[in-house]
Amino acid sequence: MQFDVVSLFPEMVSTIGEYGVVGRALKRELITLDIENPRDHTIDVHRTVDDRPYGGGPGMVMKYEPVAAAIDAAKGKLPEGCPVVYLSPQGQVFDQAMAKRFTELPGLVLIAGRYEGIDERLHASHIDEEVSLGDFVLSGGEIAAMAVIDAIVRLLPGVLGDDESAAQDSFMEGLLDHPHYTRPEVVAGSRVPDVLLSGDHAEIVKWRYKQALGRSYLRRPDLLEKLNLDDEQQMLLAEFLKEQSQ
């Protein structure tokens, strides 16, 4: 999959390609990551990318032309039919389902805004989707674009190794993760749950699933609402709550 990010801070964005899972995917040529700086698409001597807002008020707005030219350049490098996504708190909220949908694409252009954002007219002419990481404000779209890329790349076929991708067991989908433990068996007087030391794989799978259900119920009831639990899941959750109260 090919990613192109439009950003005034290209070095900030390229760091995601230097570490971990995304770094490995880049090295193995499972993805490409390119960056277009609107400043390289200015034509005035001052290389101006921002200007004062019409109507007045504080802050600056990213100018139409340099951003439009940067998007055009990015699209020119990618296959036909790669959508252009603008990151902002006004967008549709990003989630795992959206990450999955994006993995079907040959590529993605992500626009990282700065200042008060981009000239509104870019939405009609150049932008296909507006996406938000959640209800908070960042000083730039770069970190949001990097998060979206990370979430997509780890879902691409062949990116995670066999042991890493166990975390994608489909029956855990839509739930919070279960607790994890590693050596030593006792730390600060706290023991690893016996079941995890039992070697009974079926019991361990069941325990983890029950924990995932229970944690989701307690911390994110909105997630469970969406899942419509069947009888067996209801029973496991009831067991969790009973054990919790003991």
Tell whether residue 43 is a contact of ligand 4GO (CB under 6 A). no
Catalytic residue status for 232:
no
Rounded to 5 degrees, φ, ψ at 179 are: -70, 155
Does residue 171 sit in helix, strand or coil? helix
Task: Provide the minimum distance between the beta carbon of 219 and ligand 4GO in the complex, in angstroms, as a whole number.
Answer: 21
Verify whether residue 28 is a known catalytic residue. Answer: no
Name the residue nearer to ligand 4GO (CB basis): 150 or 239. 150
Residue pair 66/37 in contact by the 8 Å Cβ criterion: no
Among 134, 184, 189, 221, binds ligand 4GO (CB under 6 A): 134
Output the six-digit token pair for 142. Answer: 């770069």
144: contact with ligand 4GO by CB under 6 A: yes
Instruction: List the beta bridge partners of residue 4.
Output: 34, 109
> DSSP assignment of 34-89, as one string?
EEE-GGGG--STT---EEPPTT--SS-EE-HHHHHHHHHHHHHHSPTT--EEEEEE
Q: 3-class SS at 234?
A: helix
Q: Minimum distance from CB of 125 to ligand 4GO (Å)?
A: 18
Rg (CA), the chain: 23
> Is 140 a binder of ligand 4GO (CB under 6 A)?
yes
Catalytic residue among 51, 72, 95, 116: 116
- In the shown chain, the binding pattern of residues 84 to 113 toward ligand 4GO, with x for contact by CB under 6 A and - for none, equals ---xxx-----------------------x
The correct pick among 105, 138, 196, 241 for binding ligand 4GO (CB under 6 A) is 138
Instruction: Give catalytic residue positions.
Output: 89, 116, 154, 169
Residues at the site binding ligand 4GO, with contacts judged by CB under 6 A: 87-89, 113-114, 117, 132-134, 136-138, 140-141, 144
